[in-house]
Structure formats: C-alpha cells, structure tokens
Structure 1
Amino acid sequence: MQLDNGNGFIGILSAELQSNILEEMPLPDLITFAKTRRQNQDGIAYYMAMRRTKLFMRFVDDTNALIELLDRTGTVISGSSALSLVQPKRRAIVVRDLDVYTTEKFEDEVLKHFVEKERYEKKLEVPRKTEYESTAITKIYKLQNGQKQVDVIVSDWSCTLAPILEFHSTAVMNYITARSIVCLYPRWTAANKSMINPRLYLQNKTHMRTVYVLMKYRKRGFDLSADALYFGDHLCEGEKNTGGKDGYCPHVIRSTVDDEVISWNFGPTKMLGNTTITCQDMPIMVWCLGGQECVEGDKEITLSFALVSA
C-alpha cells in the first residue's frame, strides 16, 4: 500500500513506513485521517479492506461468500473479531474464534453456509452464552473445522444487534456488517477504557463467569470501571444549561445511528437524511446503559434497556 501524494509528509515516506504509522492508529484516528485528502481516503480504504480480509481468511476460505451471507441475512460479526478492527493493528487483541450473530429467521441459512460451504462440524448446541447473560440470545452453535472455531449466536429479536447491547462492557460493543465496521463507544474503546454494563448489577447478572471475562479484558490492557466519571468528565444527563447531553453519560438514550457512533464503510451505503445507515436492512436499535447517578442530585438509578425503534 502506498499513499501517493498523501496528506503532509506521509506521501513522501516509503510504503513500509506508511504502514508502520497506520498500524499504530485506532479506527477513530484512521477515519479522521482518511477525511484529510482523497488519496488518504483511498489508502485507508485499501488498508481496512485488507485487515478485514485477513481476519475473515483465518476462518473461511471464501471471504466474498461470507460478506454476501452477512448482507443477505443481516447477520453481523462481533466480539473480539470486531474489537480487533477498532484497535490499532499492532496492539489488537488475538482473535481465537469468530462470533457470528444472526436471528432465528436466518439461523438455518447461516448454519448451512458454514457446514456445507466451509466444512465446519457442529460440535455443540447450548441454550445461551453464559459469559454475556443475554436475554436476547436463544441458543449458540459451536462449530469447528480443524483449529478454526466459529460460534453462531442466535437471537429471537428482529435485529441481530440486540445481544451486543447486553454485552458485559462497552469495549465489545462493536460489530462488523457486510458493509461496515461499527463502534458504539469509540472514545473509550480507542483509549482502552471500558465501562462495565450496569445491567450486570441492576439485573443480578454478576457471577464468577462474568468476573472472569471482565478480568480477561483487564489483562488485555483495558481500564474497567462501573463509573463513567472514572474515565473523565462528560456532559451528564442531569446537568442543566449544558446545551446538550453527552453520549457517554450512561443515562442518555442512545441509538445505533446517533452522532457518537463511528463506522468505516467498506462499500455503498444507504442514507437516512444526513445519517449513514451501516447496513441496508439493519433495524435501528435504541438503548440506555443506565445505572447509578452520575452527579449528586441526579436520579439515583436508571434502568438499562434496549429496543428496536425502526
């Protein structure tokens, strides 16, 4: 990859040095850099496409067929795979399996693709993924092809994103669609900060398994906290005369197409006014992390919730 005539000095550097620079940049910085010049946009597009292809090639032989499956069914890839594309390449976590999220409507089609086309074997079917304790997950199929492992996670919701909003912490609230990589909390994730989902303690979901998973991300370098203010000040939902609310206040109602969400689009996109829809047929989700008050005098507890709005 060569960013010919790139922005500022980078265009005169060798391809190797350019790659070294890009590999130190998290997704939000790559998106910002891509906006500086058309040549940079093209270079980052190639770089991100190659990262996605190399990720997929670890688990499937036909990457284009996988992308077509995601597009046709509204299925997404999340977990460590999506997080690795948000992180700088040089500091990305090691991906050991592929977490594929689909709905009951497309459950059979997704399984058929991996079993018949990619020669995976169905090793285990479990009723839910206990480390996430998600009410939106009905079952999980554990598939294996030699050393390659894929988990197909099935939701009874109409949108595959529902389980992602119930994940243990914001670090893993990212997903890959057929056309994009999406990060719901980019400011925190890029800085290796992760807020523990308040639903874990509001709905008594905390047990040894969730503690183990949280500690796993702690070992991966993430700073974890159940208090959003631990990561710095934000415009709290309870503060007056702020001129707006900060999407990093856990009491704020968020959506998968709001201004706090960032996405890198691999292909053609659909617009809703000035808003980019990250998948042609992906329903819009609305959620609130909830939890304890942020500032003194604010509401004591806001319940966590998620719903399909459109």
Structure 2
Amino acid sequence: MEGQIHQLLINCGLDPIAVLEALGVTRSVISGSVPVAAMFPGQFEPNDVDIYTAEPEETAMLAIFRDQLNFTVVKQARIVYPKHMAISRIYWLTEGKAKVNLIIVKGGNALAAIFQFHSTLVMNAISVDGLFCAYPELTLKGMSLVNSSFIVGEEQEKRAAICIEKYESRGFAFITEYKITEVGELTDHKCRENANCPGTVRRLEDGHSLFYPLNAHKEEEDRKADATFYTEDGLNTVEWCLGGRECYGEDAWTQGFVTSMVLKEDGEH
C-alpha cells in the first residue's frame, strides 16, 4: 500500500516523502480520488491531489507548499459552501505539472469534511501514518452508498451528480438506499447498529473502519481505525451519522451530522 501511494503522488508530480511529512506536521490528510486509486491499483489515475487541512494549520500548510515545495498559489477558488458544511475555502496550488487543491476545514480535525462527501466511496483519507477507509465492506466491493442527507440544494446536487458520474465511469457502483440484497450482506442486519447502516452513529475509533499502516514501525496486518490523533487536551476524533432514508427505503428520514470532538482520558468530551 505504501508503494502504491508513493507512486500515485509521483505520477501527480509530487515528492511523496515531502508531502507525507507536511501532512504529519499539520495533521492534514489526502482525500478524494487518491485513496480510492490506492485501494484499486491500475483502475484509474488521479489528475490532481486533494489535501484537507484544519483551519488552525492553514497558514503553516500554505507556507510549507510555498516556501519548501516551491508551489504557487494560483488563486482561492470561488466556491461558496453552505454554512453547515465543514469546508471553509479552497486554494489551487501548482508547481510544474503538479496540481494540489488545498481544502481548509472548519474546526480542529481535517477528517470532519470527508463524512459530508457525496458518497461512502470517497470517505477515505491518507495521513502520515496510513490509509483510513470508513466503509470497507462497501468500498472494497467497488460499491458506494450515496450520502443523500448532505446533498442539499440545486448546486450541491449538480456537484454530486458530476462526481458520481465520474466514478461510475471508473467502474464503481452507487446505491441511493441501503438494501441488504444489493450489498450482499451475509450477516443479520440491525438498523442503527450495523456499521454500514446510514442510521448508525459512527466514530473514527469504533473498530468498523479499515486502516492500512504506512510507517515501518507498525505491523502491516495491524489494520485498525487508527485515524485519530492526540492533542494536549485529549483524543481528537470525529463522530458522524450519514442519515437519509432508512435501510429499506421507508418514508422515515433522518438528518445526518458530523461532529469533531476531543475526548478526555475519562471518555468525556
């Protein structure tokens, strides 16, 4: 996995060691198409790299790309996101053929943004420590549940449709309602308990995600949800619920949410 990620970054014109070091210094992550391409080698090639950085690290990350990696800030994208969305603003950076979209995320955890993406297929991230996949049972089958609870308004619907069409052309399948017959679950499904159920409240460290370690000091098969990080105040994590329609397309509808939080040693936040 580490070699695949390095090669993808090289193919995008980036120095993988320098970029991963920058992620570590600023607690940032790569998301979007690169993690998907890493899990499906040879299926498609990303055209650019999306890096997500929390607002407190914005200045530091911009300085790293400008001063150390010799990138130019082309412009700040004029994309206005709804107030409830985690994305604050986006910078377009270039250096030679390399193109980086630096996405600034509200709050203290860059991972908060990925759970508002158009579907579970792209709810993944690469950190300095490894590759995190929030919905491995679906993703590794090339299947994705549309995150309809967060696709609100005409502009958001257009963006989501373009993204979904792009990934469909790359060979991935999308479902708008969670149905056991479609995803091929072999175990009994329990709404609001099953890891893939859109009504289930999830957390980074809940054990349902997949984590491929990159650093040599970690065992390659030690695949756990190790996408959290510690601050002076405690464990910085994210809690989320996709929401949307119930598993069998009933009329019931629940609103999804994403919350960044810091857990104290006693588990309180």
Same fold (TM over 0.5): yes
Matches of 1:129 and 1:194 in 2, distance apart?
26
**Which one of the candidate residues 94, 110, 114 is aligned to 2:65?**
114
* Deviation string, structure 1 residues 18-65 (Cα, Å, up to 9, x no partner): xxxxxxxxxxxxxxxxxxxxxxxxxxxxxx222222223234654333
RMSD of equivalent CA atoms: 2.6
Q: Is residue 115–residue 123 contact of structure 2 (8 Å, CA) maintained in 1?
A: yes
* Deviation string, structure 1 residues 269-305 (Cα, Å, up to 9, x no partner): 6xxxxx7633543721111111112248x78111100
Q: CA 1:101 to 1:109, structure 2 compared with 1: closer, same or farther past 3 Å?
A: same
Q: Does 1:252 align with 2:200?
A: yes
Q: Is residue 244–residue 255 contact of structure 2 (8 Å, CA) maintained in 1?
A: yes
How many pairs does the alignment contain? 248
The 5-angstrom pairing of residues 265-276 of structure 1 reads 265-267=213-215, 268=217
Structure 1 position 101, deviation (Å): 0.4
Structure 1 position 262, deviation (Å): 0.4
| Counterpart in the other structure of 2:11 | 58
| Counterpart in the other structure of 2:267 | none
Q: Going by fraction, where is strand more abundant, 1 or 2?
A: 2
Letter in 2 for 1:236: K
The 5-angstrom pairing of residues 148-297 of structure 1 reads 148-201=98-151, 203-204=152-153, 206-229=156-179, 230-233=182-185, 235-237=189-191, 245-267=193-215, 268=217, 277-281=226-230, 283-295=236-248
Q: Going by fraction, where is helix more abundant, 1 or 2?
A: 1
Structure 1 position 128, deviation (Å): 3.9
- 3-state DSSP class of the match of 2:42? helix
Q: TM-score, normalised by structure 1?
A: 0.73
Letter in 1 for 2:124: N
- 3-state DSSP class of the match of 2:236? coil
Larger Rg: 1
| Counterpart in the other structure of 1:94 | 45
Matches of 2:84 and 2:73 in 1, distance apart?
22
Q: CA 1:63 to 1:127, structure 2 compared with 1: closer, same or farther past 3 Å?
A: same
- 3-state DSSP class of the match of 2:47? coil
> Where does the alignment leave 5 or more consecutive residues of structure 1 unmatched?
1-47, 239-244, 270-274
Q: Is residue 159–residue 308 contact of structure 1 (8 Å, CA) maintained in 2?
A: yes
Letter in 1 for 2:202: R
Letter in 1 for 2:190: C
Q: Is residue 83–residue 172 contact of structure 1 (8 Å, CA) maintained in 2?
A: yes
